[in-house]
Structure 1
Amino acid sequence: MSLIKLEKSETVVKQDENWDQNVGNKLQSEATFQLKIVNFSKVTKDIFSDEHYVRGLLWKIKAKTDYDSKTLRFHLCCEPDIDSNTFRDDLNWNCSATVDLRMISFKENVKNMSKTYHCTFSNISASWGYSSYHILTDILDPDQGYVKDDTVILEAHIQAHAPYNANWDSKKMTGYVGLKKNEKTCYMNSVLQTLFFINEFKQKVHEIPTKIDDVNNSVALALQRIFHDLEFSSKPVGTKKFIKSLGWDQDLYAQDGAHAFLHVLLEKLQTKMKGSSYEGTIDKLFAGKTISYITHKNLTYVGTKMETFFSIQLKVKGMANLTNSLNDYISTKIINFDSDKAEKRVIFTSFPTILHFHLLRFEYDPIAEESVKCNDVFKFYENLDLNKFLKKAKNTPVKYVLYAVLSHSDSEHDGHYAAFINPKLDGNWFKFHDDVVSDVAKSSAIDYNYGDNREFTNAYMLVYVRESIVN
C-alpha cells in the first residue's frame, strides 16, 4: 500500500514505554501520533502522515493549506488493512471513534489547539475532520505560537470502538461474545446482554424446569440457551429461536424499544415462575414500589394507590441531570380529576436490587404530529444514594453503583441501540454492539452518553445495582 507524500514532512508517534510492534498493538483501542510539516507556508497539496494501527484499522492524518478559503484543512482518514488474511473487501465496514485533532504550540504559555468530535468512519465515509480548522494568517503568525521556522506540528488522538466487518474477534479481545442482529432487534440484544451478567437472575433462569416445554414457545427455554451460549460460545450467539418464542411477527421486531421489551420479558418470566419455588424472583430483583396520593383542591377526596414498577420513567428535557429529574418525579403536580383539578404526588416506598431508569428521550411534537428525539445533555452518576427519595428514610444508605448504560443513536425512526456494561463492577467497561464486543474507556460509556444537541447518541436506559450486593 503506497502513501502519497508531498512536500517535506515527518511523522512522529507518541507511544507508551511498553510499546511493542506486534499484532496485539494493532488492536489497541487508542493511539496518539503527529505529523510534522516543514515548509508549511509552501504546502499546496494534500500531505499525509504515516499509517498507524488502532483496532486493526489503519489511520493517518491528512492536511492541506487552502489558500482560497485561507484556512487549514485537517482530517483523519481510516481504512482496513487490506493485507490482512481475514479482511473481505465485499463487506461494508465501519468504526465508531472519538477523535481529538490538535495543533501543537511551540510556546509554553500557549495551549495546544484542540477540536474533538465523535463520528463513524466507514467504507462510505472514511475521512472526517475540518475543512476550515483554523485561519492561515493566525497559524503563520509566530506570535500566536503554532509555527516555528515555518514548521507546524499536527497531532491526532484516536479512541476507537471495535469495528464491524474488519477483522475483530470479540471473544479473543474481551473474553465476551455478542448477539447476532436480526432485523431491528438491537434494543433486545442490549437488554439481554445486561441481564446476562446479573448472576442471581441468570442462575434462577437456568434452574427453571423446561424439559417438557415446547421448544418453539418457551421463552424460559430459549433464554436458557442464549445464556448458555453467551457463556461458552466463541462466536456471536443467534436469537431467532428466542424471538420466535416471544410470538412476534418478523415484521414487527421494532414495535418496542428496550424499555418495553424489558417489561415484556420480565412479565413472561414472572408468569412462568408463578406457583413454583422460584416465584417472587423477578420482584425480588427488579421490582420497586410507589404510593400515589391524589388530593382534591377542596380536600373533599383523598385517594391513594400502591403500584409496583420495573423501571422509573424520567424526564430529560429541561432536567439537566438525574437528581433534578428524580425531584421532578416526586414533586406535586396538578391533574384533571372529575372535571376539576386535583394534586397528585408519587412517593417511593422501596427500590429494587437492580434499578432501571428509562430516560424519556422521545416526546410527541404536536406540530410535527410525531415523536421527536430530545438530545439535550442529561448527566448521571457512577454512584447514587436514593435514601432521601424514600417515604421513610432507612438507617443505612440506599446506595447504588452504575452497572450499564443503554444508548440510542440517531432518531426514533432510524436508530440503533448499544449496551455499555461494567460486568464485574470494577470500572472496566465494555461496549456490546450486537455481535461486536470491545473494551472502552469509562468516559465513552458515561460522559459521551450524556447527550448533546450536536450529537445524536445518548443514554436511553440506565441500570444501577444496589451497592450492598455488589460482592
Structure 2
Amino acid sequence: MGAACCRKSVAENERLMSEKLKEINEEEKTEVISPTRTSKGYISLVNNFKNPKKEKKAISGIGGFENLGKTCYINAVLQCLCNTNPLADYFLSGLFKEEMCFQNRDNSSAELIYAFAEIIRTQWKANYDCIVPKHFVEIVQKNTQFAQEEEHDVHEFLTFFMGKMNELLNRANTNSSSPVPECNGDTDEHQAAQAWHDHLKSTSSVIVDLFHGQLKSTLKCTQCDQISQNFEPFMSISLPISANKGTSLKQCLKDFTKNESLEQSWFCSKCNKQVTATKSYSIWKVPPILIFQLKRFHFTPEIQEKIKTDIGFPLKSLDLAEYVAGPQKTPPKYDLYAVVNHSGKLTEGHYFTYSKNKNDQRWYKFDDDMVEEMSEDAVESNKAYLLFYYNATPKEFFRQSRTLPQFWPHVLTSEVSPPPIMKRPQTLNISSIVDKQNKRRNSEDIMECLNPPSFSFSGVSAESWAGVDKTGAEGEILFKKLLR
C-alpha cells in the first residue's frame, strides 16, 4: 500500500484528518460491536478477533503511521493496540468517556487518552493510507522518560502507556467493601483469590479486564523444605531466551517456569538464617489478551548484546495448559494477532509490526507509514520481540469485579455467595436496598447484575440470581433512582 497522505505536510495532514473525522461523525463506516452494557458501564467485551460470519466488509484498520523522528517504537505499539479489537471497540463506543477518572490525575494523562481514542477512530473509520500521530507523540515526549530524538524500548513504552490508561480509566472504589470469596480446602486457591480481590480493590479498568493475569511464585528452602508462596498480577510475561541456534515459545515457557537456584539469598524463617532456595513461577490466572516479551536484549556489566536466536511460535492454538497452575473455566488456548519485531543492532535498531486484520483475516506488515499484505508463513521470524495472543475460546471477556467472582476466568471450587442485594431476588426488599445504598455500598453490586450473561458457577445459575426482571422499563427506572 502507498502512503500518499504522508507526502503532504504535517499541518496539511492534520487538517485533512480533522475534516475527515467531521464527515464521519454522523455516518459510521465501520461496525462497532458494542460491549454488553447496563445503564452504566459494561459487563463484558465481545471477543471479535475473528469474523465468524465471513461478512464482506470494507477493509479498514490498515493505515500506516508517520515516523516523526525515532518514533517507530510508538508506532509499533499503536498498531498492536489498534488491532486489539475489544479495546478498540471500547474506545469507539465511547465507554472510555464514562469511566474517565479525573480525581488526582494530571491533565496530560487525560489528553493522552483522548489522543489515543482519536487515533483509533481515525484508523478504523477514516480509512487513511497514513496517519500522523503528532498530538499523541508530543504528549508522550513531555515525559522525560521518552525524550525526543532518542531510541526507546517498545516494551518499556507499552508498559508506560498501559499504566497511564489503567490509571485514568480506573473505576475501583477503594472505600467500598466486599467479601473475599471463600475457597475451603485449598490454601493456594484461597490465597490467590485474596490476592486478586486485593488487586481489584485498588485497580479495576478495561486494561485489567483484558490484559491482567496472575502469577504464582514459589520459594522453597533446600534445607527444611519450607515453602513460601506469593500471587502477583502481571500485564505481560518476559521470557528468557537461550543462545542456542533455535528454540520455541514453548521451550521459553518451560525455562520461565522451571526451578531457579538462589544461593544464600533467601531468609528462611524456620531455619532462622540465609539459605539456598529454589524459586519457580507458574501462571495462575490467564488474561484474555496475553503479551509475551522475548528477552532478546542481554545486559551485563561486561557485555551488551542482542540475542538473534530463531524462536518458533504458533499462530493458532497455543495450548498453555501445562504452564497454568490454577484451574481455568475455559481451555487456555490462544491465537496470535500481532507481533512487534526489532531489526538492526541493540543500540540503533528499528521496530515494525505484523498484525492480523479482523475484517479480511489477513496479515499485514506495518513499517511506519509503509503497509503491505504478507503471508502467514512470513510472520514467524528471528526478529520477533513482542507477541500478542488472545484467548480464542470464550465469546466474550467479562469485566473483573470483586463483588462478582463468578466472572473471574479461573475456577473457585467452593460456592461463592452472590452479592448481598441479590441473595433473595424473588422477594426483593426495596427498603433494604435503599439502606445499603445509603451506607455507600459498592454500586457495582447493582450495576453489574442488571442484565447478567448466561453462566453456570458452582451450580448457581445467573438466571436464579436474577429472578426479578431488572431489564424492563420499570426495573431500569428503579435502579436509576437508586444510583443517583
Question: Mapping of 1:200-279 within 5 angstroms?
Answer: 200-205=86-91, 206-209=94-97, 214=107, 218-231=111-124, 232-246=126-140, 247-249=142-144, 251-252=147-148, 254=150, 256-275=152-171, 279=204
Question: Is it true that 1:290 corresponds to 2:210 in the alignment?
Answer: no
Structure number having the greater strand percentage? 1
Shift of the 199–377 alpha-carbon distance from structure 1 to 2, 3 Å rule, reads closer
Structure number having the greater helix percentage? 2
Secondary structure of the 1:307 match is: strand
Question: Is it true that 1:355 corresponds to 2:284 in the alignment?
Answer: no
Question: Is it true that 1:337 corresponds to 2:233 in the alignment?
Answer: no
Residue of structure 2 in register with 1:113 after alignment: none
Shift of 1:242: 1.2
Can you list the C-alpha shifts for 1:127-171, whole angstroms capped at 9, x where unaligned? xxxxxxxxxxxxxxxxxxxxxxxxxxxxxxxxxxxxxxxxxxxxx
Shift of 1:199: 2.5
Can you list the C-alpha shifts for 1:418-439, whole angstroms capped at 9, x where unaligned? 1101122865110011111110
Shift of 1:287: 0.8
Residue of structure 1 in register with 2:82 after alignment: 196
List runs of 5+ in structure 1 lacking aligned partners: 1-26, 28-54, 57-84, 89-171, 452-457
Q: Quick one: distance in 1 between partners of 2:374 and 2:232?
A: 38
Can you list the C-alpha shifts for 1:292-317, whole angstroms capped at 9, x where unaligned? 11112223753222111111111122
Aligned residues: 295
Question: Mapping of 1:19-418 within 5 angstroms?
Answer: 176-205=62-91, 206-209=94-97, 214=107, 218-231=111-124, 232-246=126-140, 247-249=142-144, 251-252=147-148, 254=150, 256-275=152-171, 279-299=204-224, 301-317=226-242, 318=244, 320-335=247-262, 336-338=265-267, 339-367=274-302, 369=303, 371-383=304-316, 384-394=318-328, 396-418=330-352
Q: Percent identity?
A: 25
Shift of 1:228: 1.6
Determine which structure has more spread, i.e. the larger CA radius of gyration.
Answer: 1
Q: Name the Cα RMSD after superposition.
A: 3.2
AA in 1 matched with 2:136: F
Q: TM-score, normalised by structure 1?
A: 0.57
Q: Quick one: distance in 1 between partners of 2:217 and 2:136?
A: 37
AA in 2 matched with 1:321: S
Contact 2:59–2:359, Cα closer than 8 Å, also in 1: no
Shift of the 305–434 alpha-carbon distance from structure 1 to 2, 3 Å rule, reads same
Q: TM-score, normalised by structure 2?
A: 0.55
Partner residue of 2:375 out of 431, 441, 444: 441
List runs of 5+ in structure 2 lacking aligned partners: 8-57, 174-202, 268-273, 397-484
Shift of the 399–315 alpha-carbon distance from structure 1 to 2, 3 Å rule, reads same
AA in 2 matched with 1:308: P
Contact 1:431–1:440, Cα closer than 8 Å, also in 2: yes
Can you list the C-alpha shifts for 1:273-330, whole angstroms capped at 9, x where unaligned? 1237994311110011011111122237532221111111111224711111111111
AA in 2 matched with 1:342: A
Q: Quick one: distance in 2 between partners of 1:419 and 1:391?
A: 32
Residue of structure 1 in register with 2:458 after alignment: none
Contact 2:331–2:393, Cα closer than 8 Å, also in 1: no
Secondary structure of the 2:216 match is: strand
Shift of 1:190: 1.0
